[in-house]
Structures are given as C-alpha cells and as structure tokens.
Amino acid sequence: MSDTMTRPQPRTLVLNGADNIAVALVNLEVGSATPQGPAIVRRVPKGHKFAIRPIAAGEPILKFGQIIGFAKEAIVPGDWVHEHNCGMGGPDGSLTHDYAFAEGAIPPEMIPVEERATFEGYRRANGSVGTRNYVGILTSVNCSATVAKFIAEGINRSGILDDYPEIDGVVPFVHGTGCGMESRGEGFNILQRTQWGYTSNPNLGAAMLVGLGCEVFQIGRMKETYGIVESDTFQTMTIQERGGTRKIVEWGIEQMKEMLPIAARARRETVDASELVLALQCGGSDGYSGITANPALGHAADILVRNGGTAILSETSEIYGAEHLLTRRAVTREVGEKLISRIHWWEDYTKRNHGEMNNNPSPGNKLGGLTTILEKSLGAAAKGGTTPLTAVYEYAEKITEKGFVFMDTPGFDPVSATGQVAGGANVLAFTTGRGSAYGCKPVPSIKLATNSDMYARMTEDMDINCGDIIDGVSIEEKGREIFDLILKTASGEPTKSEALGYGDNEFVPWQVGATM
C-alpha cells in the first residue's frame, strides 16, 4: 500500500488522512459501528463511500486527498455518499482546475541496458518488435467489409494456416465509416492515421487493404500521404477495380496465399523490455479500481519505464478532473499545456454535442461505487504510475517517445484501444471491476480484476486478481506480478481473452465530425 493509505480494520478503508469519507469493504447496514467512529445511518453497499465527519452543503468531498465532488446538501457522519448527495461543481456549479506545469517530473532510476528484463519478440525490418504475428485485412470503407471477411474466412477455413504455426491468424479489421464524411479535416485525418497505424503495427507480419473504389477515403491518397509502396507484405485493391465481389475475393485469397509464407519466416528472438509499448486501459470500473488494480498497473508501468519501455495512458474523458496531477509530471511546460489543450477540446466537443463530461461514470460504474467523473478519473489516472510525462499525442498518432506518454482518446474502450494500437502498442493491460469482456487483436489484452468476488465469478476471463491487495498484498508486489505476466504474454503466452477467441470485433476507429 502507499504511504498515505491506512487500513484501520478490514471492513473500511481511509485512503488519505485528508479524506472526509471512507470506503466500505463489505455491505454496511444501518447501525453498524465503524473504525472511524460514526455509526452507519443509511445502508452503504460494498465498494461505496460514507462520511466520516460532517460535510456542509457545498463543501468539497475528498478521496485520495483530492476533490471528487461537492456536497449537494449537508451530510452527517455515517451517511452513504453517492450521486444523491454528491455532485460535480461547487455552490455555483463550477469546477476549479489547479494547473501547474513540470513541477514534479522526477526522472526514474533507469535500469542499465545489460540488466533489463527481456522477452521473446518478433523483430521487424523497420526495427520495431512485435509480440504476435498476425496477418491483417483492413478496409477503406464499410462497403468493403464483407469482402474482407470473405477473404479471411476463405483462408481460415481452408486449413492452410496449419502449415504456418508462426502465424497467429488472419484477421479482418472492418469498420462502419470511410464515406459520407468530409474529405479533409479532423475526422478524415483520424481515420487515415488509424488505418496506416494498424497496417504498420509490429504485431502484423503482413497486411492487405481493400476498398470499394468510389468512397471518400481513397486508398491511393493514403499511400501518397505516407509514401507507401506495395510489397510482398502489403497489397491493396478495390472491388470496382477488380471487377466485383467474387473476383476480389478470389484475388484476395490468392494474394494471402503468397503473403503467408513470407510472414511465417518471422521467428521470436530475445529482446529487452525497452521494445514494449504497453497500452493502459480500464473498463467496467468500480469503487476498488482506484484502490487495487489501477495503482498496481501503475507500478508495473513504472517498472516498464525503468526498463526503457513505453506506457500509454489514454481515455481523456476519464482523466478529466485529474489532469492537474499529470501536468505537474510533464517534462516541459509545453507537454503539460498540450494535455490541457486536449481537455479544452473535450469540453467544447461535449458542449457542442449537448453533452457533459460527467456523463461518465456509467450505470455499472455507479453500482460499483463510483459517483462522479472526478472520482473515476483520480482512480483511472493511477494506471499511469509515477514517472514523468514525456509526450502527449493525438488519437492514433505514432508513438515515438519512450517512457510514460498520453494519447488523446475517448473513454469508450474499443475506440480508445484502437487508437493506442494504431499508435504502435504491442501489448495491452486492462483493469476491470464489473467484469468487462474484451480482447484486442492483433495485440494481446491482459485482464486485471479489481476485486476478488468478480475474479471468482469470471476466472476464465481474468488473468490476474488484484482484489487481494485489500487483504494485504502490497501494490508493489502486485505490480511486479503484472509486469512478469506482461513479459510472458509478450513472449507468446496466450491471455484469457485470446484463449476465448476475443478480438475480431474490437477494431473501432474514432468517428469525429458530421456523417453526411
């Protein structure tokens, strides 16, 4: 546990000495005594919060030593604290941001190259390293999604992959956009970055891009933008150019048969952990996420950074209210200000779409004990560990900096992870308290349970139980366990989601802008 975290008794938990609430570790019935003194006056479900001293109307409610909301009314000690009496803003509904830049960026103690952890990965021709060896079929537009699936099915059902054990599979990455959109601007640029990012991800040994031919997103334009030349590991074609559905499926299958032996030449070799690019995700969060799995994953991310690797925190809408903690860790003021510029973009984005940043937490998050986006964000940001923030990237932008970085994405897990993979992530760790069912081809997804009850119910889906942190396992010990599994997974050990076959439907590029 951290130095600020105390555990008076196993039934409740105070996370910081400044807090005016505690977390219930079991269901607390009316009249129950608490280690903090007050008796419970309204039932508090497991994972939820209760007041440990009087909180006046409009007064900040503190958890982790940070503001998670403001009292809508006076709250007496022992009362349940949740959305009925805790809101986002102060008396006037405002939210004050306390920004500081590059004040807490303490360089980590780096592990010497000769002492770094290692894994068995696929070294690609451009120097990047993959943890899997898939062959992908991407589509420029939803109109070509069906033929991409037909090509993949034709290969996967033929049995030819039995001859290539080094290939993990042929996967169609289809989506629902590519036309009915602007041919320039933010939405188009995002889709273009995402498509090329997946095509060049080191976990793909070869790729194909198929289109219709008349769509807004033109394959030729993307090739020109990125200087792409077709090769024996990258081919493109359109349905209209080839002469129809049957002909392009036949063409695609034949091209795949030529690509497979080339992709299968890849062999795992020992590389150090600096080649890992770890995507950090959380979904289906609960009241334990910010106490157990997220800080443990943050410690694993710190270990990776000390080994020269990269960890990507994302989900901008789910660090809202905690961004001031990240700006302090920025290596320069410019890096911190870039993060704030994305926060301001999101405030405008939600406003012009008649939404609000506090549309999160979800109903499931609230059932699990999370009340406001501020509370959720403080827990979610813990995934980023403690090392300096070295760079901030736009969605699907190629990650070039080492260390702890941030990528601007929505909080919706498939969309967020798609951006991270397009940026170059080759392994992913996903914390969940409610039990999210998720996989992420071509990148293996490690599932981390935040509580022991859910882990026991969904053992076949969860890779690690972090709920035992409540029982005394240290965050540092659990972080090391997570890091060790990251290395094993990167070396080829299948995750639970991979064993179950997840990952074929989780390619979801972020759609920004009007559909016309």
Average pLDDT across the chain, whole number: 94
Range list of β-strands (E), 314-421: 389-393, 403-407
Mean pLDDT is lowest, of 98-107, 289-298, 382-391, for: 98-107
Q: What is the separation of C-alpha 456 from the centre of its chain, rounded to a whole number of angstroms? A: 23
| Rounded average pLDDT over 207-224 | 97
| Rounded average pLDDT over 473-484 | 97
Name residues whose C-beta falls within 8 Å of residue 385's C-beta, 6 or more positions apart in sequence: 298, 299, 300, 301, 302, 305, 311, 404
DSSP assignment, residue 399? Answer: P
Mean pLDDT is lowest, of 357-371, 434-448, 481-495, for: 357-371
In this structure, the number of other CB atoms found within 10 A of the CB of residue 352 comes to 8
Q: For a pLDDT cut of 70, what percent of the chain falls above it?
A: 96
Give the pLDDT confidence of 224-266 residue by residue, as tens digits.
Answer: 999 999 999 999 999 999 999 999 999 999 999 999 999 999 9
Given a cut of 70, whether residue 96 has pLDDT beyond it is: no
For residue 223, the one-letter residue type is: K
Give the pLDDT confidence of 12-34 residue by residue, as tens digits.
Answer: 999 999 999 999 999 999 999 99
| Rounded average pLDDT over 40-55 | 96
pTM of the model: 0.93
| Rounded average pLDDT over 460-478 | 96
Given a cut of 60, whether residue 164 has pLDDT beyond it is: yes
The span from the CA of 475 to the CA of 42, in Å, is 31
Please check whether residue 269 is in contact with residue 118, taking contact to mean a CB–CB distance below 8 angstroms: no
* Length in residues, the chain: 516
| Rounded average pLDDT over 94-118 | 86
pLDDT value at residue 90: 54
Could you state, in order of their start, the residue ranges of all structural domains in the chain?
1-96, 126-269, 277-500
The span from the CA of 261 to the CA of 128, in Å, is 20
> Is residue 412 within a helix (H) or strand (E), and if so which, with residue range?
none
> Is residue 378 within a helix (H) or strand (E), and if so which, with residue range?
helix 373-381
Out of 3.60.21, 3.40.390, 3.40.50, 1.20.120, the CATH code matching 126-269 is 3.40.50
Band of pLDDT at residue 1, cut at 50, 70 and 90: very low
Q: Is domain 1-96 annotated with CATH 3.90.25.10?
A: no
